Amino acid sequence: MRQGYAAYSSVQKQTESHQQVEYRLLGQVTSALLKAQDTECTLQDRLNAVLWNGKVWDAFLCDLSEPGNQLPQGLKTSLIQLAHWVARETELAIETNVGLDALINVNRQIMEGLQDQFRLAEAS
């Protein structure tokens, strides 16, 4: 099984950049958050979406904290602060029935930033 995962990971690395993976993942988790706002959504589905979003941002935080991360320091600092905000908002969303719009909007804004990077890369 491990060899199969390694093979898949190798193919994925050849076909998608880190930014493309991040964009796709944010799109998927944002879609889950949007569905979690539906009145017919179960509490379990809402919690699963919120926790998944929190895990995605925890992974971003880990990556941003790595010494080898090549992002400019100012951007890295801002994203780390944003990841901490997402963690607090995630706790709030779990403990209360607060809306998910803020989490959705943050994800969308990051996706827009990633799209801008794609456009710049294509132009050069």
What are the pLDDT tens digits along the chain (124 aa)? 445 445 445 455 567 888 899 999 999 999 999 999 998 999 999 999 999 999 999 999 999 999 999 999 999 999 999 999 999 999 999 999 899 999 999 999 999 999 988 777 777 7
| 101-123 vs 73-95: helix crossing angle, rounded to 10 | 150
Helix (H, G, I), strand (E, B) or coil at 96: coil
Predicted TM-score (pTM) of this structure? 0.82
